[in-house]
């Protein structure tokens, strides 16, 4: 989990509160993630830092 993700504002609603879900996709365990950061307000799913860097 990247701690820096927790300081990002939600691009959709601007909320800074987040929920971290772990083992969200147990079905896709081969693609295992340490966790997903989800906006507590609107449910926006933040991407991992690496994925964000690709977009930018
Ligand atoms: Zn949001």
pLDDT at 1: 47
Distance from residue 28's CA to the centre of ligand 1 (Å): 25
Q: What angle do CA 50, 52, 56 make, to 5 degrees?
A: 120
Distance from residue 10's CA to the centre of ligand 1 (Å): 5
Provide the H-helix boundaries in the chain. 49-55
So where are the chain's domains?
3-49
User: 25 or 41, which is more confident?
Assistant: 41
* Percent residues over pLDDT 70 in the chain: 50
Tens digit of each residue's pLDDT (9 = 90 or more) over 7-30? 789 999 999 999 887 765 556 555
Distance from residue 41's CA to the centre of ligand 1 (Å): 5
- Local confidence band at 31 (pLDDT 50, 70, 90 cut-offs): low
Which phi and psi (to 5°) does residue 36 adopt?
Answer: -120, 135
Which protein residues have their CB within 5 A of the ion that is ligand 1? 10, 12-13, 15, 39, 41-42, 44
Is the pTM of the predicted complex or chain greater than 0.95?
A: no
For residue 52, CA distances in Å to 26, 27, 49 come to 23, 24, 5
Three-class SS state of 20: strand
Q: What CATH topology corresponds to 3-49?
A: N-terminal domain of TfIIb (2.20.25)
User: 1 or 47, which is more confident?
Assistant: 47
């Amino acid at each position: 989990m990247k701690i820096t993700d927790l300081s990002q504002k939600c691009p959709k609603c601007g909320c800074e509160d987040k929920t971290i879900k772990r083992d969200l996709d147990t079905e896709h365990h081969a693609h295992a993630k340490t966790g997903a950061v989800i906006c507590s307000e609107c449910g926006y799913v933040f991407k991992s830092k690496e994925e964000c860097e690709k977009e930018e």
